[in-house]
Amino acid sequence: MLSWEKLPSKRVSNMALTDAKIRALRPPEKGKILKVLDDRGLYVFVYPSGRRVFYARCTPPSRKGQPKKEASAVRLGEYGVEIGLAEARRMAEEVRSRVKRGLPPREQDVPTFERVARQWLELRRAEITAAHADDIWRRLEKDVLPALGAIPLPEITPPQLLDVLRPVSERAPETAKRLRQYLSAVFQHGIVCGLVNGDPAAHIGKALRAPQKKHLPAITGREEFSTLMRTIHGYWGAPITRLALLFAAATAVRPGNIRLAEWGEIDLDARTWAIPGKKMKSRRPHTVPLSPFACRVLEEAAGFRRGRYVFPGRPNRPMSENTLNAALKALGYDGRHCAHGFRSSFSSLANEEGAARPDVIERALAHSEKDEVRAAYNRAVYMQEKRELFDWWGGVLEEVLSDSI
């Protein structure tokens, strides 16, 4: 613990902290510390180096007739490296509660697997959806924490990890593969925080049963695809479902992006759909050029507008995950074509007919460029070529459907 009063301070500011506000705090001059109060004794100290560290300010209770005891600063962890804002608030409350009862600020911290895993996931929440984060924790709770949760991180060995993952691998190889990735990420976090020296999960993948690759059904032949599109156009179910299928075909995006599409992301004048990074598999924003065909689908969908979602299920709720595949099944395409299959149809036909360079087709499908510098340099060029590609594709769909929409 540090003496609160002896800390060099530039000033103390009060504000309701958020992740954005913490990142925006400007470092003070050399030799000073900027203290920013959040609530109930939680502070973030901003150092000249730019480091942001959470502290809890607490004053031990004094007995009647005795001098008031000096306030202390209890370090909780560095923001963005060791803990996030929500975890810091919880820890500060815990520290103040213990001190108020005359106890030491906290018990000796043991970096158990569960504790470090919680810290890691708390930081990941800023990068992934809440549903994804909850799914990760459910998987860990089910298959990992019962065996490893209470074990200190430095004591966990590769054989212990294999004992946990092998039973999972036998019943669900893909799940075991993902769990190994999560385990490795937790240990990597532990390395950064100085809790462990290595990652025992790094090389155990080869000792697990390899998952079989799943090939999602897709129609890729021009004639059969034309029949599929005409069948979809005659779909007798909910009109919004028919439009969602047509839009999926026109944009070649993943089904999840279709069902979560929002009107605020659509610019019909510019003919673009700007998908935020948080909705993308790659976590990077993706702009889809909209063909005139796609725009007409959206104009018809606007007649069914009920809230922010383009293809709603209930008001202000997105379409169900199963809706598109259920419609294709009802049309007789179960096992032959799925909602994700429109991406393969687009890719196969565009490559087969030489509609664009292969790398342009890959960018149109949001397959990311590994070279970040080259990706940034080529973004504007790709956008124009992507627009030409999607306009060609929209023309193909219009020709197939002739006097449709």
The β-bridge partners of 42 are: 56
43 is catalytic: no
Catalytic position from the list 343, 363, 386, 387 = 343
Catalytic position from the list 98, 125, 178, 367 = 367
Residue 286 φ then ψ, to 5°:
-140, 125
The Cα–Cα gap between 23 and 18 comes to 9
254 is catalytic: yes
The Cα–Cα gap between 124 and 127 comes to 5
Catalytic position from the list 281, 305, 314, 357 = 281
Residues 283, 284, 285, 288, Cα dihedral to 10°: -100
281 is catalytic: yes
367 is catalytic: yes
Listed residue (162, 258, 147) closest to 203, CA to CA: 162
Catalytic position from the list 254, 271, 279, 363 = 254
Catalytic position from the list 11, 132, 305, 377 = 377
**Cβ partners under 8 Å of residue 298, min gap 6:** 247, 266, 268, 290, 310
Listed residue (93, 110, 204, 215) closest to 153, CA to CA: 110
The Cα–Cα gap between 109 and 105 comes to 11
- Active site positions, annotated: 254, 281, 340, 343, 367, 377
